[in-house]
């Protein structure tokens, strides 16, 4: 009997330790962060627009996301009489689930012992309550890379997931049986397809440099050379602009352009179903920001200034000494990797919000024009030039 | 304004050009009125427009009036102008209850909605009109509200003793709304029905500037047809004014264009003053100029802000709102009311300026140029803004005239027509300012015109503020019109009598009719007044610039995208309170 249960128990423990615990942590962190992102967005836009933003619920309005959550949870769940019920109900899930799944491959930091917790867990015997043969704790790795799964096709996986989430939007538009929702859904379908291509092409340049599709490997490749934003400035721009379009954010927020088509695909949604779309949008924003950080800004790597003497052309003209730069670099090194990763993501999120507060919205045909006639050829040119350079440099 | 002498010769000229059509010519307060008959009306109007010597290319307004005692009870007045020659004439025709009038829509396109309005509110039929439906009242309304015999109380209230005999309004509305209100009125002409979709945009829609409803027929995102429906905010302001004294009616004018109420007061006050021949002290006129220009700034700020927001530039909206708030604070300081000030009154302004007024206005005028530059910087050279507005919804100068556009909308099309310059009123000739005009007549030009007008209005404000002394005359001394000051009441018997009469009966202007225009923030705001010598206006008609300009919307939206419709509405800047009145 024991012979049968023990391996099952061990397998289950393995699944919990390697899949469930990290997924649980990341998923909750993402959802809570997404909720607070709405707060940050309102606060930032508020200040840009010279108004205070949320400041009633809790100190500095910090509990606003909580209040919003409670409100959305307790709202009446309305399904329009003429809606296609099955499609209408399933669409929000189809929109949110792929976004959350995409987080599985995002690396957040270096392999770490979690401040000594992991090695301690490995020798933990459960205070003697667990038989030594059953003890799951030795399964805990000594050092863990902060990623749920270091998939060797991580980039492809994320592209696939973000493509899938478009289904949710299209089906929401179709299932609502409302004209505004339908228009929003159609716009979104066209937009996501167009910009996915440009985005994919922009990434190819990075992949050629790194020689891997794994996000962890891409960061490692940047550790040994330099941040790819220096080698791929054009690719970076295309990626980020396409990313904004991909997540339906201003100035490409046509699928939900409220002045034209009311609220677009989620016109008919209310309560938690509406919140799902919202969470999906904010989750996707974080994904794109994380991707931009990993692919172009070296992920969790700290910023390192170039040593003046290593720059033959301008090094001697600079007024700083090598020692000073080394000291600064040392200080930057001391910042934990995950803080670097999160601050890079935070920077991109701020840019997202900043853009929304600044720019007018493009028109639908202009968006398509930009996607197919500007972004796509530029992306191809970028690949060509990158390939040429790699070929020449060997 | 043209002098009486040339007007008489103008009447003679028109008589010669269109023999037999003019049955009478009159002259009152410098306005020429030609009378004609229904049979000759169309001939006269087309001669006025097409004859090269006359060239009356602009139909400003058509106003109806009801005189139940006459054999031909209705009177229809066409206010026709010639924009290059800057002269205008009123064509008056009387028509009986069952008699149709020939339509003027084939002469000026703008006649369309004016005629629908007269049909709706008076029941005058226009033969040959392409789309003679009710416009302000619902399709199923019974009766014509502006007829003098239309019951003032409206619907009868149901009590237990009479509920059997009353048709509940609810039932009428339900029955009416069940009709094809939501479908297209005419079947789609030459487009396959299977590929098109009908979208009902409004009256509850984020970007229709209030309760405008558009029925759009779209093929994908391309707009094939646009049918505007208005009247959701129809409050019967003209009818209300006819039942108040002249002085009281000032208050209802506030409610028309609710984004620039003082300008409405001004238009009405000027019309009554013209009717009565009142001279207003120069200082009061300067104050009026200042208030009118501040109001124009406030209105243009909202126009710009909402326009930008609808195209997605959200922050501009908040910045504009911030600056408009400063103007509303000034209005509050001046009159105690933020919006519906009724500060401009018949005979002058209601009260003298409060202490510290100059400083408050000066503070605003000092910060304002930087603010306009900020909007300019955010939008003018913004690539996305240019893409959304350049070459979009172009109005040609010919169309602009044909549709009777005015204000920034006609100037956007390159026609330099500003009533402050061309038909000067108040003390505008004293002030130096430019009239900006556009080149192509697209959304971008109308935006630029408004932006530049803000700078020019500020210039006028600066000059006006210097002109106005802190204390002085602020209304006419004529005790028949303006109430005596409080100190006088305590000592002077005559003042007490004036005060009593003024507040119980009001004043009685002479019999006559005038059409007075001002340049409001939206264009030619005209007030047509008829006095029968009593203490109430016999008829007040408002030529609302938004009402007229909204009419061009279907023409400029056709073939564009849904997003362009939004840009077009924003650039035409209609205010539904004024459209529906």
Q: What is the pLDDT of residue B184?
A: 47
Q: Do B379 and A360 touch (CB under 8 A)?
A: yes
Q: Hey, of B563, B567, B569, which one would you mutate to test binding to chain A, going by the most A CBs within 10 A of its CB?
A: B563
Q: What is d(CA B560, CA B395) in angstroms, rounded to the nearest whole number?
A: 13
Cβ-based neighbours of B374, under 8 Å, separated by 6 or more: B319
Contacts 24+ apart (CB under 8 A), A74-77: A74/A271, A75/A270, A75/A271, A75/A272, A76/A270, A76/A271, A77/A270, A77/A271, A77/A272, A77/A273
Q: Is pLDDT at B358 greater than 80 in this prediction? A: yes
> Which residues from A are below 8 Å from B when comparing CB atoms?
45, 48-51, 179-180, 183, 186-187, 250-251, 253, 257-262, 356-366
| Residue in A45, A262, A356 closest to B205 by CB | A262
The token pair at B254 is 């506030």
Within A49-149, residue ranges assigned H as helices are 64-74, 85-102, 117-123
Q: What is d(CA A312, CA A364) in angstroms, rounded to the nearest whole number?
A: 49
| A258: nearest CA partner in chain B | B206
At B295, is the pLDDT very low, low, confident or very high (cuts 50, 70, 90)?
A: very high
Q: What is d(CA A358, CA B191) in angstroms, rounded to the nearest whole number?
A: 40
The token pair at A47 is 């200040």
Q: What is the pLDDT of residue B190?
A: 46
Distance from CA of B373 to the nearest CA of A (A): 16
- Residue by residue, what is the 3-state secondary structure of B469-496? CCCCCCECCCCCCCCCCHHHHHHCHHHH
Rounded to a whole number of angstroms, the distance between the first and last alpha carbons of chain B is 28
Q: What is d(CA B408, CA B304) in angstroms, rounded to the nearest whole number?
A: 12
Distance from CA of B310 to the nearest CA of A (A): 5
Q: What is the DSSP letter of A361?
A: P
What torsion do the CA atoms of B247, B248, B250, B254 make, to the nearest 10 degrees?
170
Distance from CA of B84 to the nearest CA of A (A): 38
Nearest to B266 by CA among B282, B248, B285, B239: B285
Neighboring chain B residues of A373 at a CB cutoff of 8 Å: none
Q: With a cut of 50, list the residues of chain A below it in pLDDT.
A: none
Q: What is d(CA B471, CA B538) in angstroms, rounded to the nearest whole number?
A: 37
Report ipTM (2 d.p.).
0.78
Q: Could you tell me if B400 and B410 are in contact, meaning their C-beta atoms sit under 8 angstroms apart? A: yes
Q: What is the pLDDT of residue A8?
A: 81
Neighboring chain B residues of A50 at a CB cutoff of 8 Å: 318-319, 322
Q: What is the pLDDT of residue B301?
A: 92
Q: Which residue has the higher pLDDT, B195 or B481?
A: B481
| B375: nearest CA partner in chain A | A358
Cβ-based neighbours of B327, under 8 Å, separated by 6 or more: B294, B295, B297, B298, B301, B364
Residue B388 in contact with partner chain A when CB distance is under 8 A: yes
Q: Are strands B31-36 and B87-95 parallel, antiparallel or unpaired?
A: parallel
Q: What is the pLDDT of residue B186?
A: 45
Q: Is pLDDT at B5 greater than 50 in this prediction? A: no
**Lookup result for tokens 């202490």:** B355
The token pair at B446 is 């109308």
Q: What is the pLDDT of residue B296?
A: 92
Calculate mean pLDDT across residues B360-375. 90
User: Which residues between 367 and 386 in chain B have a beta carbon less than 8 angstroms from any beta carbon of chain A?
Assistant: 378-379, 382, 384-385
Q: What is the pLDDT of residue B329?
A: 92
Q: Could you tell me if B293 and B464 are in contact, meaning their C-beta atoms sit under 8 angstroms apart? A: yes
Cβ-based neighbours of A308, under 8 Å, separated by 6 or more: A315, A316, A318, A320, A321, A322, A325
Among A100-104, A144-148, B22-26, B180-184, the minimum mean pLDDT is found in B180-184
Quote the mean pLDDT of chain B.
Answer: 84
- Report in angstroms the alpha-carbon separations of B426 from B204, B421, B488, B509: 39, 11, 29, 21
Q: Do B388 and A360 touch (CB under 8 A)?
A: yes
Q: Which helix (H) or strand (E) holds B215?
A: strand B213-219
Grouping H, G, I as helix, E, B as strand and the rest as coil, residue B579 is helix
- Report in angstroms the alpha-carbon separations of A273 from A32, A73, B200, B288, B570: 17, 9, 25, 55, 33
At B327, is the pLDDT very low, low, confident or very high (cuts 50, 70, 90)?
A: very high
Distance from CA of B222 to the nearest CA of A (A): 10
- pLDDT tens, residue by residue, B227-245: 888 888 888 888 888 888 8
The token pair at A42 is 């309102």
The token pair at A23 is 């997924």
Q: What is the pLDDT of residue A270?
A: 82
Q: What is the pLDDT of residue B6?
A: 52
| Residue in A50, A250, A259 closest to B566 by CB | A259
Model's pTM, two decimal places? Answer: 0.83
**What is the distance, to the nearest Å, from the Cα of residue B353 to the centroid of all Cα atoms in its chain?**
28
Q: What is d(CA B238, CA A313) in angstroms, rounded to the nearest whole number?
A: 80
Q: Do A257 and B221 touch (CB under 8 A)?
A: no
Nearest 5°: phi and psi at B530? Answer: -120, 130
Nearest to B34 by CA among B88, B94, B92: B92
Calculate mean pLDDT across residues B384-411. 87
Supply the DSSP string of B538-553, one letter for each residue.
SEEEEE-HHHHHHTTH
């Amino acid at each position: 009997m024991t012979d049968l249960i023990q391996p099952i128990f061990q397998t289950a423990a393995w699944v919990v330790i390697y899949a469930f615990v990290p997924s649980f942590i990341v998923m909750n962190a993402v959802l809570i962060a997404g909720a607070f992102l709405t707060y940050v967005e309102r606060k930032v836009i508020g200040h840009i627009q010279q108004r205070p933003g949320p400041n009633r619920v809790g100190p500095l309005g910090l509990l606003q996301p909580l209040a919003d959550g409670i409100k959305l949870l307790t709202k009446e769940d309305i399904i329009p009489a003429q809606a296609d019920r099955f499609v209408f109900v399933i669409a929000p899930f189809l929109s949110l689930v792929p976004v959350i799944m995409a987080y599985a491959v995002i690396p957040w930091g270096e392999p770490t012992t979690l401040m000594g917790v992991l090695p301690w867990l490995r020798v933990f015997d459960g205070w003697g309550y667990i038989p030594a043969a059953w003890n799951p704790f030795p399964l805990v790795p000594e050092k863990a890379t902060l990623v749920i799964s270091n998939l060797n096709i991580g980039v492809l996986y994320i592209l696939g997931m973000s493509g899938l989430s478009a289904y949710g939007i299209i089906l929401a538009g179709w299932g609502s049986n409302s004209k505004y929702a339908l228009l929003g859904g159609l716009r979104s379908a066209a937009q996501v397809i167009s910009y996915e291509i440009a985005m994919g092409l922009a990434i190819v340049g990075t992949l050629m440099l790194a020689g891997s599709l794994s996000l962890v490997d891409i960061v490692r490749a940047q550790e040994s050379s330099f941040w790819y934003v220096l080698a791929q400035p054009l690719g970076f721009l295309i990626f980020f602009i396409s990313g904004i379009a991909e997540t339906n954010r201003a100035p490409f927020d046509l699928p939900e352009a409220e002045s034209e088509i009311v609220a677009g695909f989620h016109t008919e949604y209310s309560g938690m179903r509406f919140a799902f779309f919202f969470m999906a949008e904010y989750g996707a924003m974080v994904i794109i920001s994380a991707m931009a950080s990993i692919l172009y800004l070296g992920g969790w790597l700290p910023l390192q200034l170039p040593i003046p003497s290593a720059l033959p052309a301008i090094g001697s003209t600079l007024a700083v000494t090598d020692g000073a730069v080394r000291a600064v670099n040392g200080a930057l090194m001391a910042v934990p990797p995950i803080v670097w990763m999160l601050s890079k993501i935070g920077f991109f999120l701020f840019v997202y919000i900043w853009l929304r507060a600044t720019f007018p919205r493009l028109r639908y045909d202009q968006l398509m024009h930009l996607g197919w006639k500007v972004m796509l050829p530029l992306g191809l040119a970028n690949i060509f030039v990158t390939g040429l350079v790699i070929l020449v440099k060997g | 304004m043209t002098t009486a002498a040339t007007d008489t010769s103008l009447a003679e000229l028109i008589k010669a050009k269109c023999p037999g059509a003019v049955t009478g010519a009159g002259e009152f307060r410098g306005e020429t009125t030609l009378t004609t008959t229904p049979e000759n009306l169309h001939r006269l109007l087309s001669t006025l427009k097409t004859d090269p010597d006359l060239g009356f290319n602009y139909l400003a307004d058509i106003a109806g009036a009801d005189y139940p005692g006459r054999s031909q009870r209705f009177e229809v007045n066409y206010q026709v102008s010639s924009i290059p020659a800057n002269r205008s004439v009123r064509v008056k025709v009387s028509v009986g209850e069952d008699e149709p009038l020939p339509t003027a829509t084939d002469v000026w396109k703008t006649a369309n909605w004016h005629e629908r309005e007269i049909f709706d509110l008076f029941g005058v039929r226009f033969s040959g009109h392409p789309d003679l439906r009710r416009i302000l009242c619902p399709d199923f309304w019974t009766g014509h509200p502006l007829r003098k015999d239309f019951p003032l109380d409206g619907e009868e209230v149901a009590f237990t003793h009479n509920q059997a005999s009353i048709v509940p309004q609810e039932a009428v509305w339900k029955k009416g709304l069940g009709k094809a209100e939501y479908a297209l009125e005419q079947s789609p002409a030459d487009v396959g029905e299977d590929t098109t979709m009908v979208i009902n945009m409004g009256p509850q829609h984020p970007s229709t500037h209030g309760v405008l409803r558009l029925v759009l027929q779209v093929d994908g995102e391309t707009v094939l047809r646009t049918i505007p429906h208005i009247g959701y905010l129809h409050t019967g302001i003209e009818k209300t004014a006819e039942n108040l004294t002249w002085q009281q009616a000032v208050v209802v004018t506030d409610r028309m264009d609710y984004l620039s109420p003082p300008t409405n007061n001004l238009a009405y006050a000027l019309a009554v003053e013209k009717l009565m021949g009142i001279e207003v002290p120069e200082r009061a006129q300067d104050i009026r100029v200042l208030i009118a220009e501040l109001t124009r700034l406030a209105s243009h700020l909202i126009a710009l802000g909402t326009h930008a927001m609808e195209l997605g530039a959200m922050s501009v909206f908040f910045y504009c709102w911030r600056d408009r708030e400063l103007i509303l604070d000034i209005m509050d300081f001046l009159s105690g009311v933020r919006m519906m000030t009724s500060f401009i009154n018949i005979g002058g302004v209601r009260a003298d300026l409060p202490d510290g007024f100059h400083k408050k206005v000066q503070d605003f005028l000092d910060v304002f140029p930087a603010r306009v530059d900020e909007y300019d910087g955010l939008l003018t050279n913004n690539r996305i803004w240019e893409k959304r507005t350049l070459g979009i919804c172009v109005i040609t100068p010919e169309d602009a005239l044909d549709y009777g556009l005015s204000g920034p909308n006609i100037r956007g099309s390159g026609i330099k027509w500003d009533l402050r310059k061309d038909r000067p009123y108040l003390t505008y000739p004293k002030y130096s300012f430019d009239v900006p005009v556009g080149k192509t007549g697209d959304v971008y030009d109308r935006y630029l015109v408004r932006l530049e007008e803000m700078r020019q209005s500020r210039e006028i404000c600066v000059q006006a503020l210097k002109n106005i002394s802190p204390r002085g005359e602020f209304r006419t001394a004529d005790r028949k019109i303006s109430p005596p000051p409080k100190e006088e009441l305590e000592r002077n018997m005559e003042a007490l009598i004036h005060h009593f009469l003024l507040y119980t009966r009001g004043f009685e202007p002479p019999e006559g009719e005038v059409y007075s225009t001002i340049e409001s923030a939206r264009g030619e705001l005209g007030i047509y007044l008829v006095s029968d010598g009593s203490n109430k206006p016999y008829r007040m008609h408002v030529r609302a610039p938004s009402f007229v300009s909204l009419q061009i919307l279907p023409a400029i939206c056709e073939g564009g995208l849904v997003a362009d419709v939004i840009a077009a509405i924003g650039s035409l800047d209609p205010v539904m309170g004024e459209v529906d009145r």
